[in-house]
Amino acid sequence: MKLQEKKDQIDNAIKEYIEKRYTDELYDLVKYAVIDGKRLRGIVLLLTSEALNGDYEKAIKLAISAELGHAASLVHDDIIDKSTERRRKPTLWKKYGIEKAVILPHILISESLDIARKEGEKFFKVGLETWSKASYGEYLDIIAEDPLNWSKIDYRKLIALKSGSLFEGAAEIGALTSKNSNELVNEARRYGMALGIAYQFADDLIGYLNKKEEGGSQDLFSYYIKNEIGETKDVGLIMSFFMFNIVKEFEIIRKSVLFEKSEYLRLFPIFSVLEIMKENTDMYELIRSVIGNYL
């Protein structure tokens, strides 16, 4: 499958990169933080680049950059949310201690931006803007843990910054690896942002259904869904609410030029959302039958 092929390419590139770059305990820390990810941001970068006949060698290096930056954000997420488990193993701060977990993201993001800088100023600029947006999103995520702030924070703005910006930046960088991308950069940004919002919405929904509300966006999601449809266990109503919100983003994706340029960019939003939905078997089966026929 094409998506698995792209994931394998990114995994292999990251493995080779960190083996050359780090040694001793720092290597162990970096490996622990970056191995085993879904690579969704890196994959969308490679798919966008490929759809626009971009430079693969640049794209794979920049996919490493995107995934290192994402890993940095996850380490911070887990500290902020006091999460003790990620990907069925202890979080980095739980395994190595809070001090090392605090400093490691600084190393990872510096590395990420340095890779982007070496590939060109335009990539560095997008990487810096992406980190700035994601950091502000994390700030909103923190203050959204306080119920007194729920009515003051727009849920969709929070997830656009926290998650949408990472997909937006990845798609934009993928487009920029093509020599003929100038008119398509904004299309890539819109595609990536809509994808990221849909993905985070699905992630927060699963947290809500599984009663694992960790972090401000999930707290705010609970407030949002209860305001919209009340406290209900009606799966049909929840699914309708989910589809109503997801379709808003999928409509943006459907109108994107990228949607027409690549079969895999048409399928990727469904794949990404279903990857999250697997964490709730009942909802996954319901959503798969509906969402699979949409895009």
How far is the C-alpha of 193 from the C-alpha of 240, rounded, in Å? 22
Residue 287: which pLDDT band, with cuts at 50, 70 and 90? confident
Average pLDDT on 227-237 reads 85
Which one of 1.10.10.10, 3.30.1490.20, 1.10.600.10, 1.10.238.10 gives the CATH number of domain 2-291? 1.10.600.10
How high is the pLDDT of residue 15?
A: 96
* pTM beyond 0.85, yes or no: yes
How high is the pLDDT of residue 281?
A: 74
Where are the chain's structural domains? 2-291
Percent with pLDDT over 90 in the chain: 63
How far is the C-alpha of 191 from the C-alpha of 173, rounded, in Å? 12
pLDDT of 62 > 90? The answer is: yes
In degrees, rounded to 5, the angle at the alpha carbon of residue 256 between the alpha carbons of residues 180 and 169 is: 65
* Most confident segment among 40-44, 138-142, 243-247: 40-44
pLDDT of 193 > 90? The answer is: yes
Residue 242: which pLDDT band, with cuts at 50, 70 and 90? confident
pLDDT in tens, 83-121: 898 888 999 999 999 999 999 999 999 999 999 999 999
How far is the C-alpha of 19 from the C-alpha of 87, rounded, in Å? 22
Q: DSSP letters of 103-140?
A: HHHHHHHHHHHHHHHHH-HHHHHHHHHHHHHHHHHHHH
* Most confident segment among 27-36, 78-87, 283-292: 27-36
Average pLDDT on 259-266 reads 88
How high is the pLDDT of residue 112?
A: 97
pLDDT of 138 > 80? The answer is: yes
How high is the pLDDT of residue 214?
A: 65
Query: Both tokens of residue 114?
Result: 């340095």
To the nearest 10 degrees (0 to 180), the angle between helices 98-119 and 56-81 is 160
